[in-house]
Amino acid sequence: MELDPVADLPEIRPGDDIAELVADRASLESGDVLTVASTIVSKTEGRVANLEDYPVSGRAQEIADRIADVAGEEKDPRFAQAVLEESTELLIDCPFLLTETRFGHICVNAGIDRSNVPDHDILLLPKKPTESAERIRSRLVERGIEDVAVIVTDTCGRPFRHGQRGVALGWAGMPASRDWRGELDRDGHELGVTVQSVVDELSSAANLVTGEGAGGTPAVVVRDWEFGDHEGSDELFRAVEDDLVRQALRNWRFDD
Amino acid sequence: MELDPVADLPEIRPGDDIAELVADRASLESGDVLTVASTIVSKTEGRVANLEDYPVSGRAQEIADRIADVAGEEKDPRFAQAVLEESTELLIDCPFLLTETRFGHICVNAGIDRSNVPDHDILLLPKKPTESAERIRSRLVERGIEDVAVIVTDTCGRPFRHGQRGVALGWAGMPASRDWRGELDRDGHELGVTVQSVVDELSSAANLVTGEGAGGTPAVVVRDWEFGDHEGSDELFRAVEDDLVRQALRNWRFDD
């Protein structure tokens, strides 16, 4: 497996065609996987905003006040309002905001970015990252690159372990996971690993070569990797019924 | 960045020298990262056991009874006993066991594997995976491969997202994380990403090419990847004070 960052992408603007910008700079081939950072997808989709666009609700003010009280940290209530508007559930409201975004991804601040935005205050995640991935993929197919997969990626933290790692927000041209159920090991025992989240692993791998900041490259081509002959699944985000940690968080409040 | 699985490793036995077995089959060079699945590390360290080695405590019996009651699933109380003995904290006791292992990793069943064991019932995780990684690394350095890093990997599930992905249990020759704090983006804003867990991302990347089961290759060489000029950190496992999800789990019990 080989991962090559796509060099020399320009600053991305609303309406830019990511498929074209990438295909002009990398020799994409059938079977490749293209990972694209959500930041540039958001920029092409005009997902920027200013804090003044978010009139503060009572709930947002309450959140900002409590974080200031408990964590001693100033939180702009307009930012809290933006997070609420991008979310369907607030899992942690203090000392930081952990929410479920409208497309099912759980992350801090609904993934809203305050860096990476030249002319506005904030950059929102793509509204429907899987549709974004499908759009980029179909533009690549139109250019003659058949059988290509596209993953829209982000980085985020997680419970139990420090640090952030790359994750997938949306994908097209391949399933999210590879299913090993029923397959056997060398000794004929059924495997301990059951479902492997390949889109997340590909996003993590890509994040190792993208870099961040001024020298960052928001697109990576993965070559010589195969999904292989396995069942696939597109379920990536857990529902509450299926997630004991979410259930525990519903019954808990930060102790100040 | 390139990832090459190490081909043709034999069935691993207690006392085997993983560094030698790998170096004989792959041309390791300075700057490479070698990932090794914890299963084969455990085998060389004789971390196998039989269920009859675990006389059942009252707590283990209670756990097995409750899981049978609530989840309708048969759990061997000797297996629950083995999980307890490998753990320092039980985070979820029903409908499955989520624990913190003695070296700080949080996973289901303390990472005990019931597949992958030819002559015993169970395979335990390495006792101190970072020491295991250091041992393998120093044997590689002895063979003249300077400046190599070694990661002992496993796969595990996570909250919020379905599926398993590769994670690091121990590492040597590189820090666990890359610290971007204080670095700026193209527009001079401070970066949203702060600490990047590169050992986990490398483990996930490696897991894409190892495969599982009969055709699995438990070692991967990562080439042409650089940690780069960043601060590093070896903190990977969160302490309770630093982990709201662990705090929430301490205050919660599965509702039957």
Confirm or deny that B127 is annotated as ligand binding.
no
Indicate which of B83, B116, B244 best probes the interface with A, i.e. most A CBs within 10 Å of its own CB. B244
Q: With respect to residue B86, please indicate whether it lies within any of the assigned structural domains.
A: no
Instruction: Write out pLDDT tens, residues B8-62.
Output: 999 999 999 999 999 999 999 999 999 999 999 999 999 999 999 999 999 999 9
Query: Quick check: A214 and B159 CB within 8 A?
Result: no
Query: Quick check: B11 and A163 CB within 8 A?
Result: no
Q: With respect to residue B104, please indicate whether it lies within any of the assigned structural domains.
A: no
Q: Does B200 touch chain A (CB under 8 A)?
A: yes
Q: What is the mean pLDDT of chain B?
A: 93
- In the prediction, which pLDDT does A127 show? 98
Mean pLDDT of B191-211: 90
Q: Report how far residue B224's alpha carbon sits from residue B246's, in angstroms, rounded to the nearest whole number.
A: 37
Q: With respect to residue A216, please indicate whether it lies within any of the assigned structural domains.
A: yes
CATH number, residue A159: 3.30.1330.100
Query: Quick check: B190 and A214 CB within 8 A?
Result: no
Both tokens of B2, joined, read 């390139």
Q: With respect to residue B130, please indicate whether it lies within any of the assigned structural domains.
A: yes
Q: Which residues of A touch B193 (CB under 8 A)?
A: 155, 164, 212
**Between B184 and A25, the higher pLDDT residue:** A25
Query: Least CB-CB distance to B192: which of A106, A113, A196?
Result: A113
Match 């990562």 to its residue by tokens: B222
CA distance B138 to chain A (A): 25
- In the prediction, which pLDDT does A188 show? 72
Query: Quick check: B212 and A11 CB within 8 A?
Result: no
Cα A238 to chain centroid, rounded: 15
Q: With respect to residue B37, please indicate whether it lies within any of the assigned structural domains.
A: yes
Q: With respect to residue A130, please indicate whether it lies within any of the assigned structural domains.
A: yes
pTM of the model: 0.96
Does residue B241 register a pLDDT over 60? Answer: yes
Kindly state the DSSP code that residue B113 receives in the 8-state scheme: B
Asked if residue B123 lies in contact with residue A186, where contact means CB atoms within 8 angstroms, the answer is no
* Alpha helices by DSSP H, B91-171: 129-142
Phi, psi of A154 (to 5 degrees): -145, 175
Q: With respect to residue B169, please indicate whether it lies within any of the assigned structural domains.
A: yes
Please tell me whether the peptide bond between A118 and the residue prior to it is cis, using omega within 30 degrees of 0.
no
Q: What's the pLDDT band for B214 if we cut at 50, 70, 90?
A: low
Q: With respect to residue A104, please indicate whether it lies within any of the assigned structural domains.
A: no
Query: Least CB-CB distance to A118: which of B187, B193, B208?
Result: B187
Query: Quick check: A197 and B236 CB within 8 A?
Result: no
CA angle A159, A113, A248 (to 5 degrees): 25
Residue of B nearest to A179 (CA): B163
Q: Does B189 touch chain A (CB under 8 A)?
A: yes
Owning domain of residue A180: 2-47+126-239
Confirm or deny that B101 is annotated as ligand binding.
no
What is the ipTM, given to two decimal places? Answer: 0.95
Both tokens of B172, joined, read 């040597």
Both tokens of A207, joined, read 């994040």
- Please report, for residues A34, A65, A136, A173, B211, the alpha-carbon distance to residue A141 in angstroms, rounded to integers and kept in the order given: 12, 50, 9, 10, 29
All residues at 6 or more sequence positions from B166 whose CB lies less than 8 Å from its CB, including other chains: A201, B35, B153, B154, B155, B200, B203, B204, B205, B206, B207, B208
Does residue B194 register a pLDDT over 90? Answer: no
In the predicted model, residues of chain A with pLDDT beneath 70 are 185-187, 191-193, 212-215, 256
Instruction: Write out pLDDT tens, residues B97-112.
Output: 999 999 999 999 999 9
How many structural domains is chain A composed of?
1
Mean pLDDT of B182-200: 79
Asked if residue A48 lies in contact with residue A124, where contact means CB atoms within 8 angstroms, the answer is yes
* DSSP string covering B11-54: PP-TT--HHHHHHTTS---TT-EEEEEHHHHHHHTT-EE-GGGS
Instruction: Write out pLDDT tens, residues A10-67.
Output: 999 999 999 999 999 999 999 999 999 999 999 999 999 999 999 999 999 999 999 9
Query: Quick check: A116 and B213 CB within 8 A?
Result: no
Q: Report how far residue B99's alpha carbon sits from residue B104's, in angstroms, rounded to the nearest whole number.
A: 9
